[in-house]
């Protein structure tokens, strides 16, 4: 049971990390779109 919890937590953490990374990439691009 603990193993499935660890896998679930790691999947959620990876999803959240990917979401934050995509935000860090998309937000500056959309903010600086006028300069391009």
Give the DSSP per-residue string, the chain.
-HHHHHHHHHHHHHHHHHHHHHHHHHHHHHHTTTT-
Looking at residue 36, what is its pLDDT? Answer: 61
User: What mean pLDDT value characterizes the chain?
Assistant: 91
Q: What's the residue count for the chain?
A: 36
Q: What is the pTM of this model?
A: 0.62
pLDDT tens sequence across 10-25: 999 999 999 999 999 9
Q: What's residue 34's pLDDT? A: 78
């Amino acid at each position: 049971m603990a193993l499935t919890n660890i896998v679930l937590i790691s999947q959620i953490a990876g999803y959240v990390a990917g979401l934050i990374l995509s935000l860090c990439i998309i937000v500056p691009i959309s903010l600086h779109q006028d300069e391009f």
